[in-house]
Structure 1
Amino acid sequence: MTGSFGPSGTLKLATFVLSLLGLAVSAYLTYTHFAGIGPAGCSAKSDACVQVQFSPQAEVFGIFPVAVLGLAFFLVMVPMTSPWAWRLPQPAVYWTRLGAVIIGMIFVLYLVYVEIIQIGAICPYCTAVHIMTFLLFGLLVFDAAFRGPGTAASARR
């Protein structure tokens, strides 16, 4: 059973599952971008996901797709939210997890702005990743607000 200061098993499981799902969707979006195909269910040129995925804003400096940033984010978050990481007493794990999700959420807010204001279309797959990031953000910030970094050692229980 979790100590009074440690994160609950539900929090640990929820963050890990969200990270795995985010990794899967981000990997799929990265694949479809490089393959030059629209995601499943979004194959027509007028579909919102195709409009977003192949817009000029879908690439960072015209070099690599934004989906790669999502993939990189979740490649960090999966190990940081794994059951093993939650048991580590090192503050660096806590701060990396919290810092990454804050940066990820800021980037999501920017991407939602780009979709709505600049492109005028909302990609359902991108929205799924945004929701997963938002839920991770909410869970981890809530945990930080009520548990804080000083109790990392109690998370091993």
Structure 2
Amino acid sequence: MTATADIAAQVDGDHHDDQPALTDRLIGWILTVGGLAGALAAFVLIVEKVALLKDPSYTPSCSINPILSCGSIMTTTQAEVFGFPNPLIGVAAFPVVAASGAAVLAGARLPRCWWLALQGGALFGVGFVHWLFFQSLYRIGALCPYCMVVWIVMIVVFSYLTLYNAERGHLRAPRRVTDLLVRIHSTVPLLWLLILTVLIGVQFWDYWRTLL
């Protein structure tokens, strides 16, 4: 009886070891929730932009103080890099992310080309938001709360999507590095966001200090 139990336990342990650390359910929820949150933030920014165009004296709901001020950013050239308001990119792209996540949760098996397309979009998105991050901190001198939601979403989605694609073999990556990062998957975006938070705190420290 004991030998049989030991064998069963060993087989069960091997079965669990074969299970991917980043499950389809986890990546599905991350894509769905992240896509919806990003789409909502982008949509609200478009609404605020339209209101500002109609009435230049309008104060956006996300203009809270001299630092947290959407209005200061919406009127800059950085807010329309491609000739139209930047949030339009999010309004178009984030629903695709959310739909992909919903499909995965429903049990769909997305092809490798789809995962690579999502990866390419996430790479562009995370690169773009970091450019906007630099512009907001060191050129404009203000932060947009709704934009910051998009920054967070992009970092989380990109981190998990990259690890998922590497673990599933959609991306070529050293297996040891992939396994290590997958085991500490939540640490990757947390450290990333912590670094950006520190940069924000340092850049606007003189203002934050006046509030203490």
TM-score normalised over the length of structure 2: 0.61
Once the two structures are TM-superposed, the CA of residue 74 in structure 1 deviates from its matched residue by: 0.9
- The verdict on how the C-alpha distance between 1:44 and 1:116 changes in structure 2, with shifts beyond 3 A counting, is closer
Greater displacement, 66-75 / 129-138: 66-75
Structure 2 portions without partners, runs of 5+: 1-17, 53-57, 172-212
Aligned equivalents of 1:103 and 1:46: distance in 2?
A: 27
Equivalences, count: 148
- Give 1:17's match in structure 2, choosing from 27, 33, 39: 33
**Which amino acid counterpart does residue 67 of structure 1 have in structure 2?**
P
Counterpart in the other structure of 2:117: 96
- Give 2:150's match in structure 1, choosing from 118, 129, 141: 129
**Which amino acid counterpart does residue 132 of structure 2 have in structure 1?**
L
Aligned equivalents of 1:89 and 1:47: distance in 2?
A: 40
Please provide the CA RMSD for this pair.
2.7
What is the percentage of aligned positions where both structures have the same residue?
25
The 5 Å alignment of 1:64-143 reads 64-84=84-104, 87-143=108-164
CA contact (8 A) 1:29 1:39 kept: no
Structure 1 portions without partners, runs of 5+: 151-157
Counterpart in the other structure of 1:34: 50
Greater displacement, 29-38 / 79-88: 79-88
SS at match of 1:139: helix
Aligned equivalents of 2:150 and 2:60: distance in 1?
A: 14
TM-score normalised over the length of structure 1: 0.80
- Specify which structure has the bigger relative contact order, considering alpha-carbon pairs within 8 angstroms and separated by 6 or more residues: 1
Aligned equivalents of 1:46 and 1:102: distance in 2?
A: 28
Once the two structures are TM-superposed, the CA of residue 112 in structure 1 deviates from its matched residue by: 0.6
